[in-house]
Amino acid sequence: MSEYSVQIRHLVKRFGSLTAVNDINLDIKKGEIFGLLGPNGAGKSTTISLILGLITPTSGTVMVNGIDMQKNPHAARGQIGIVTQETVVEPELTAEQNLMIFGKLYHIPEPELHKDIDFALELADLKNFRHSYAGTFSGGMKRRLETAKSLMHAPGLILLDEPTTGLDIQNRTKIWDLLRDINKKQNVTILMTTQYLEEADQLCNRIGIIDHGKLIALGTPSELRQKMGVSSIIEISADREDLQKVARAFEKVGLEAKILSNKVTAAGGSNATKKIEALVKEISAMKVPIHNISMHEPTIDDVFLKLTGSEVRDTEGEYAGGRSDLMVRRGR
């Protein structure tokens, strides 16, 4: 058996004159939690669709648990569980009934099915709600039920598209704990996309960043932060109409500024504290009101901004419409 859950070799996907995925090579080891990040239009979603076998590559190969997705898509898809960005549960059915239907779609034998449902409900902390209708659940509970459904056919790989979008911090933390339990207790590889970069930093063993169809960075969160090559980041937030003036102040004190939605940021370099003092003087002379000044160590957000030149933006789920393609026979 392969030691990798996903192996991608020279993967290319073109749509007419547009090259959405441009010669990507990637190995994801079994047991990893791997984060795939990228701004809109970068090729991230197309890469995910290729891994799922929802579209055909122009060239290159995708292997899932050692199975070629092109040569044997039925068996390869049987190795994958998926949690879409939009939670898909049947509100008029109980938690148990939701899992029961999904298990039967995967042709799980009846005696085994009940054991699997018990285990999934326990893992998702929904055992006490097995007879409650899913329509009465909170957003976080529905998300946990959706995640439990993805485990019913015992996949080796679970793919999650924006697993905590729209959840409050308490429910996001519960989902994080659930994913860690799935990864450790089930030895399931997790491949996830997220718009919350701190989520990738917290959860992922490794992160890959895609931009313009290419894999431009790959490594552990610590390794990626080291790519910044700086010890501190300075951020100043102000009214949007004043951001250009704030950026000019950065330039006057010798810092290369980048303007984001509501703030200006730059690598602090040496003597960052003195740089902040100089910035305050310059901005005060301009009579520009400042909302906040902060200095922190580089984060994955900073790495992403440096490599792609943009912030992560909200993306729409793309896989809910393709779920019927994933209703495959159980492959334990």
pLDDT digits (tens, 9 = 90+) for 90-135: 999 999 999 999 999 989 998 899 999 999 999 999 999 999 999 9
* Model confidence at 191: pLDDT above 50: yes
DSSP sequence for 206-271: EEEEEETTEEEEEE-HHHHHHTT--S-EEEEEE-GGGHHHHHHHHHHTT---EE-SSEEEEE--TT
Task: Identify the residue whose tokens are 């330039």.
Answer: 251
Measured CA to CA, the distance from residue 7 to residue 61 in angstroms comes to 8
Q: What is the pLDDT of residue 301?
A: 84
Q: What is the pLDDT of residue 311?
A: 58
Q: Count other Cβ atoms within 10 Å, centred on residue 125.
A: 16
The secondary structure element, H or E, covering residue 105 is helix 95-105
Taking a C-beta distance cutoff of 8 angstroms, is the pair 204, 221 a contact?
A: yes
Per-residue tokens: 96: 């148990």
**Which percentage of the chain shows pLDDT scores above 70?**
92
Measured CA to CA, the distance from residue 324 to residue 332 in angstroms comes to 20
Measured CA to CA, the distance from residue 142 to residue 227 in angstroms comes to 38
* Model confidence at 227: pLDDT above 90: no
Helix (H, G, I), strand (E, B) or coil at 273: helix
* Model confidence at 38: pLDDT above 60: yes
Taking a C-beta distance cutoff of 8 angstroms, is the pair 32, 189 a contact?
A: yes
Q: How many CA atoms lie within 13 A of 67 on its CB side?
A: 18
The residues near 128 (Cβ < 8 Å, ≥ 6 apart) are none
Express each pLDDT in 52-76 by its tens digit: 999 999 999 999 999 999 999 999 9
